[in-house]
Structure 1
Amino acid sequence: MFSYYLQLALRSLKRSPGLTVLMVLAIGFGVAASMTTYSVFRAVSGDPIPWKSSKLFVPQIDMWGPKGRSDNGEPPDAMDYADAMALQRAHRAKLQSAMYQVSPSVVPTGAGKHPINVSGHAVYSEFFPMVDAPFRYGSGWGDDADRQRAAVVVISSKLNEKLFGGANSVGRSVSIEGKDYRVVGVLDDWNPQPRFYDVVNTGGFSSGNEDVFLPFERAIDVGMPNDGNTNCSEIPAESGFVGLQHSSCVWLAYMVELDDAAAVSAYRQYLDGYARDQQQAGRFGWAPNNRLRSLPDWLDSEKVVPSDTKVSLLVALGLLIVCLVNTAGLLLAKFLRRSSEIGVRRALGAQRTAIYAQFLTEAGIIGLAGGVLGLLLTGVGVASVSWVLPKDIASLARLDAPLLVLTLLVATAATLLAGLYPTFRASRVQPAWQLKSN
């Protein structure tokens, strides 16, 4: 029976090719606009570590007081060196790590090769299990390497390919800023977006890879400067990197892992107790004003998802609705123009369900054709988003299999939805009236 309705639908569409093309274009453009903006929104709003994000938290300590708070009373979104080290020493979380951004130069082995400027982070050993960093070879370093300020390094698979041809390089040496570091691990392909472990310094998104991870204490010892953001409420008393460490400037990201609600409550109490101790010591002249946000709440508070992507998605959905309304109007005019045909079919015994099936089949074909056109236009749209969005965000949009399937489903379902009312009106045609009028 479906093949019969399919034949009727194709004949009807061929009889009015101009109207058919107009409806397909309306659906295609509406769906393409929606799917293109959705591909961007999906990329920037996804949970970067969904299996664990509820256990990861970012603490904030108000070390500046009222003069340094934002308009909504928020404390700084990063930490100064003194508070970060105090939290690190207290070790009240299951896993924790202070971190800061570095951009050292790596010198490849072999005569005549030029240094490579790379990016990375100085972190503690607990960073790797905390963020579930995947390893291709080896692993991260241990607590003893932190304490001994060992010259060890974890490198990316990309840097490993450049330096060692992709072979297992664990145990080999890498020259970083003129000093030899022993490779203890090579990361697998890993570039989480947003870069959740250091939103403050990366802005959330970065098209570049993190190539090196060094022990935090080692980086401090050798004076490897901070390459991330530095915010100060007052000018440091001393100059240079050492002066930064002795100042109240905030430049360190900090993250902890807490397994359950009890651990979260205990850590929050610890933060408030620490702030009260600083108040009693005369360092803070204000009441505790701390925050402890889960990773999803932290990303939301930092507005990692750009507001313009949300607006663009709403505008695109509005365009799709307009296209569907126009398509519904065209289908209504097309179906009611065939009232005589419907009246004859009904007079010959066709049920209303048969009329529904016939015209919904026709609407489905239009939706499927619009979906195919929408796929082509979505591909063009995804390739062109770099014209209107920052490169780091635009590079995340991609046309993959789920998006292809979703585009076809949205186009077909939307057109069927648009065809419900015209089909309902067509099924209500009275056979007697049509036969008398003819």
Structure 2
Amino acid sequence: MLGYYFDLALRSCRRSKALTALVVVLMGCGVATCMISFAVFRAAAADPIPQKSHQLFVPQIDNFGPAHNWKSEPPILLSYRDAEALLHARQARRQVLIYGSKWTVLPDDARQPPFPQEGDAVSSDFFAMFDARFRYGGGWSSHADEQRAAVVVISSALNQKLFGGANSVGREINLDAHVYRIVGVLDDWEPRPRFFDVASTYYPFSHPRQLYLPFSRAIDLHKATTGQFYCSTNTVDPDLPDWNSVLRSECAWIAAWVELPARADVAHYRDWLRNYAAEQQRLGRFDWPPNVRLSDVMQWLRQDGNNVIPKSSTLSLIVSVSFLLICLVNVVGLMLARFMRRAPEIGVRRALGASRGAIYRQFLIEAAVIGLAGGLLGLLLTALGMAGIGKVFEPEIAQLTRLDASLFLLTVVVALLVTLIAALYPTWRAAHVQPAWQLKVNG
């Protein structure tokens, strides 16, 4: 019977070509618009490190107080005092401090002019914690952190620019008139977004840093942050005349991460954070109860203050889903007109013994055929839309969107489901046509 109903569906489509084409175009456009926006949103909101995102956490400590917080949330960054306390307490499997800085590279070739380069000052666990891939060499040791060693890890792009892509481990690079020994060259490692340091850049999907130097070394050199630096009034404190005052201040400017492999580790570290904040209260530094947070990667990215997921991608997805719903409403009307025009045919079939279940199956299969056609058109329009997505959204996000097998399958499934949902009421109306009335009217 399935083949018979399929044949009836094809015949019906041939008889009503204009109406069928209108439904197919509506579904194709609605589904394609929705899938393109979904692809962008999926790229922007994807887990940047799925293999261990449930093990990486951001500790937050409220050193501002309830009078200066937003919705009682602690600052997203730490003061130098708190950051150093977390690093040296070693309560986690790994702990990392990060802040962005700017350096001037002086090439060995005198014909090349000096050029600025943004980098991150990080502690030694950074590369292992975030699964950084190396082309040559590796990171530095914790001993190098303690010694404030003049070592550096550079990106493959910078290595190509300075050394022609050769193995540069052991060679030297001049940064701000200081010589640094290269200990590692990263492979094409470009985490998007830069989830581990969203505060050091105004756009988390920008290209990664080209330099990574020891955090302790950057502190010794008085390297100011190029990222966010805010005190309790959300501005730079004018009473910080020198670098030591910055380090002693309550201003927040350092990102911190900890790696906690097990649930017990998470509970232990959260207790330690509370106890640390309580100790600061007892010492008179805080005059408010402990207010701490411990968020994993995805919780961190979804926090309001981080602004990682672009609002444009979220808004476009909402608009696209709304457009698809409008298409669905229109398809309901078209399907109703299409099916009710065949009321005499339905009456004859019912009079000859066809059950309501048979009518349901016939018209739902017909709707599925139309939905499949709409899905195929939607695939074509989605592919065309993906080709020009960089003209609407940021190029960095457009590069991350993929027209993969899952998106192909989802496009067809959504088209089928939406068409079947749109056909439910028209099919119910068709199945309840009274055969006697139709025979009398058309007799």
Fold-level similarity (TM above 0.5): yes
Alpha-carbon offset, residue 360 of structure 1: 3.2
What is the rounded CA distance, in whole Å, between the counterparts of 1:158 and 1:428 in structure 2? 69
* Structure 1 partner of 2:35: 35
* Structure 1 partner of 2:366: 362
* Cα 1:93/1:346, change in 2 over 3 Å: same
- Partner residue of 1:253 out of 248, 252, 255: 255
What is the rounded CA distance, in whole Å, between the counterparts of 2:311 and 2:154 in structure 1? 34
What is the rounded CA distance, in whole Å, between the counterparts of 1:279 and 1:245 in structure 2? 20
* Structure 1 partner of 2:276: 274
What is the rounded CA distance, in whole Å, between the counterparts of 1:402 and 1:91 in structure 2? 42
Q: Is contact 1:236–1:247 with CA below 8 Å preserved after alignment?
A: no
CA displacement, residues 352-377 of structure 1 (integer Å, 9 cap, x when unaligned): 56544543343233223322332343
Alpha-carbon offset, residue 92 of structure 1: 1.7
Alpha-carbon offset, residue 22 of structure 1: 1.6
* Structure 1 partner of 2:299: 297
Partner secondary structure for residue 54 of structure 2: helix
What is the rounded CA distance, in whole Å, between the counterparts of 2:152 and 2:117 in structure 1? 13
Q: Is contact 1:101–1:201 with CA below 8 Å preserved after alignment?
A: yes
What is the rounded CA distance, in whole Å, between the counterparts of 2:284 and 2:141 in structure 1? 36
Partner secondary structure for residue 319 of structure 1: helix
* Structure 2 partner of 1:64: 64
What is the rounded CA distance, in whole Å, between the counterparts of 2:433 and 2:281 in structure 1? 81
* Structure 1 partner of 2:336: 332
Question: Within 5 A, what are the aligned runs for 1:114-263?
Answer: 114-202=113-201, 205-233=204-232, 235=237, 237-239=239-241, 241-263=243-265
Greater mean deviation of Cα atoms: 421-430 or 243-252: 421-430
* Cα 1:248/1:371, change in 2 over 3 Å: same
Alpha-carbon offset, residue 308 of structure 1: 5.3
* Structure 2 partner of 1:283: 285
Greater mean deviation of Cα atoms: 343-352 or 325-334: 343-352
Q: Is contact 1:205–1:392 with CA below 8 Å preserved after alignment?
A: no
Amino acid at match of 1:227: T
Alpha-carbon offset, residue 206 of structure 1: 2.0
The alignment's TM-score, normalised by the length of structure 1, stands at 0.87
Q: How many residues are paired up?
A: 437
Q: Is contact 2:193–2:206 with CA below 8 Å preserved after alignment?
A: no
* Structure 1 partner of 2:318: 314
* Structure 1 partner of 2:54: 54
- Partner residue of 2:414 out of 399, 410, 413: 410
What is the rounded CA distance, in whole Å, between the counterparts of 2:318 and 2:332 in structure 1? 21
Q: Is contact 2:106–2:113 with CA below 8 Å preserved after alignment?
A: yes
Greater mean deviation of Cα atoms: 412-421 or 336-345: 336-345
Q: Is contact 1:154–1:184 with CA below 8 Å preserved after alignment?
A: yes
Measured on the aligned residues, the alpha-carbon RMSD in Å equals: 3.0
What is the rounded CA distance, in whole Å, between the counterparts of 2:231 and 2:425 in structure 1? 62
* Structure 2 partner of 1:18: 18
What is the rounded CA distance, in whole Å, between the counterparts of 1:65 and 1:345 in structure 2? 76
CA displacement, residues 109-162 of structure 1 (integer Å, 9 cap, x when unaligned): 544224443333111111122122233333221112212222222222333333
What is the rounded CA distance, in whole Å, between the counterparts of 1:214 and 1:402 in structure 2? 40
* Cα 1:342/1:305, change in 2 over 3 Å: same
What is the rounded CA distance, in whole Å, between the counterparts of 2:385 and 2:176 in structure 1? 43
Q: Is contact 2:78–2:253 with CA below 8 Å preserved after alignment?
A: yes
Q: Is contact 2:194–2:208 with CA below 8 Å preserved after alignment?
A: no
Amino acid at match of 2:12: S
Alpha-carbon offset, residue 28 of structure 1: 1.8
Alpha-carbon offset, residue 21 of structure 1: 2.3
What is the rounded CA distance, in whole Å, between the counterparts of 1:355 and 1:161 in structure 2? 69
What is the rounded CA distance, in whole Å, between the counterparts of 2:281 and 2:349 in structure 1? 87
Sequence identity (%): 52
Alpha-carbon offset, residue 345 of structure 1: 4.7
- Partner residue of 1:373 out of 377, 385, 393: 377
Alpha-carbon offset, residue 228 of structure 1: 0.9
Q: Is contact 1:236–1:244 with CA below 8 Å preserved after alignment?
A: no
Query: Is there any run of 5+ residues in structure 1 with no aligned partner, and where?
Result: none
Greater mean deviation of Cα atoms: 426-435 or 413-422: 426-435
Alpha-carbon offset, residue 3 of structure 1: 5.6
What is the rounded CA distance, in whole Å, between the counterparts of 1:371 and 1:116 in structure 2? 52
Alpha-carbon offset, residue 61 of structure 1: 1.9
* Structure 2 partner of 1:94: 93
Greater mean deviation of Cα atoms: 261-270 or 126-135: 261-270
Greater mean deviation of Cα atoms: 228-237 or 27-36: 228-237
Q: Is contact 1:27–1:323 with CA below 8 Å preserved after alignment?
A: yes
Partner secondary structure for residue 231 of structure 2: coil
The alignment's TM-score, normalised by the length of structure 2, stands at 0.86
What is the rounded CA distance, in whole Å, between the counterparts of 1:242 and 1:198 in structure 2? 24
CA displacement, residues 203-241 of structure 1 (integer Å, 9 cap, x when unaligned): 572231222211111222233331111112362544355
What is the rounded CA distance, in whole Å, between the counterparts of 1:117 and 1:364 in structure 2? 59
